[in-house]
């Protein structure tokens, strides 16, 4: 679909892979309602494409024979109403993972990657959760914790909020209400979040795009499945999160991330 884009180095191919992967993961999680609607079984054979710019598209297969790039699974729409939605999404995720690998190693073969290049490319790819892991919840990650900040609300209050500004700019974050009473010397004791108390930021992955936790990014945790998401991935801003009481992610609500009955969790 975008055959004119030809990454030539291992790093360029990996960036291409990651962009396509993020687009496909978004289609099957954050944008799942829109994706489901577009996969009408009454239409012709449809494919799910991911693009390097992290966008996705449901469309007919390429007309060229053979195609310029490997093609994704054909006819994903036909099985939509014949199985449970969760199982159908998992099936599409598995085929999407296979397609991503085929595209990446197509570029590797085309531009003469040697054994070490191929090994390095696979290592970079293998460090990311698969789309199936993200969709099925197998990449369910521990909530972010920060040794520089203790949790700002207790578990019993059923609310958790942290400053979204870097610690260097706020050496003394202003807690709300009983924050000071609930602060512990080590944030790891309470996990820093209701979802599970991870000890290392590197183990925390976004439930939508699968990218690692970043201390300079806004995150929000789902109260149902206890997965964490970039605010940008679920279209929640820090300002909007201030008014959220209980947060349910798109997979748990079947929406695109908006609603009034939600709980916010902010991390810095």
Closest residue by Cα to residue 76 from 38, 21, 114: 38
C-beta neighbour count of 99 within 10 angstroms: 22
Q: Which of 229, 227, 252 is nearest to 241 (CA)?
A: 229
CATH class belonging to 219-254: alpha beta
Q: Where are the domains of the chain?
A: 10-136, 219-254
Helix (H) or strand (E) holding 155: none
Global pTM reads 0.56
Query: pLDDT by residue (tens digit) across 180-201?
Result: 444 444 433 333 333 334 444 4
Per cent of the chain over pLDDT 70 is 67
- Binning pLDDT at 50, 70 and 90, where does residue 80 land? very high
Q: Name residues whose C-beta falls within 8 Å of residue 16's C-beta, 6 or more positions apart in sequence.
A: 5, 7, 52, 103, 104, 107
Task: Give the pLDDT band of residue 252 (cuts 50, 70, 90).
Answer: confident
Q: What is the mean pLDDT of the chain?
A: 75
Tens-place pLDDT, residues 204-243: 788 888 777 677 778 888 888 888 888 888 888 887 877 7
Taking only the tens place, the pLDDT of each residue in 94-146 is 999 999 999 999 999 999 999 999 999 999 999 999 999 999 988 654 434 44
């Amino acid at each position: 679909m975008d055959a004119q884009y030809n990454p030539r180095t291992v790093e360029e191919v990996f960036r291409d892979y990651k962009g396509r992967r993020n687009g496909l993961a978004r289609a099957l999680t954050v944008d799942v309602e829109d994706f489901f609607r577009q996969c009408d079984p009454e239409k012709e054979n449809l494919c799910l494409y991911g693009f390097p710019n992290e966008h996705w598209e449901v469309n007919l297969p390429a007309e060229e024979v053979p195609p310029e790039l490997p093609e994704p699974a054909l006819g994903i729409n036909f099985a939509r109403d014949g199985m449970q939605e969760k199982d159908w999404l998992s099936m599409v995720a598995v085929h999407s993972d296979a397609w991503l690998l085929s595209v990446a190693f197509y570029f590797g073969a085309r531009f003469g990657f040697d054994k070490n290049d191929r090994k390095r490319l696979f290592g970079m790819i293998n460090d990311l959760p698969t789309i199936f892991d993200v969709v099925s919840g197998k990449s369910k990650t521990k909530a972010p914790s920060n040794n520089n900040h203790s949790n700002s609300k207790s578990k019993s209050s059923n609310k958790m909020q942290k400053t979204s500004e870097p610690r260097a700019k706020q050496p003394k974050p202003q807690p709300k209400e009983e924050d000071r009473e609930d602060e512990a010397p080590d944030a790891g004791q309470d996990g820093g979040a209701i979802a599970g108390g991870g000890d290392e930021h590197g183990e925390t992955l976004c439930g939508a795009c699968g990218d690692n936790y970043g201390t300079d990014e806004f995150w929000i945790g789902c109260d149902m499945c206890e997965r964490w998401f970039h605010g940008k991935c679920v279209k929640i801003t820090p300002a909007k999160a201030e008014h959220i009481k209980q947060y349910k992610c798109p997979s748990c609500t079947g929406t695109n991330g908006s609603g009034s009955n939600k709980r916010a969790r902010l991390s810095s």
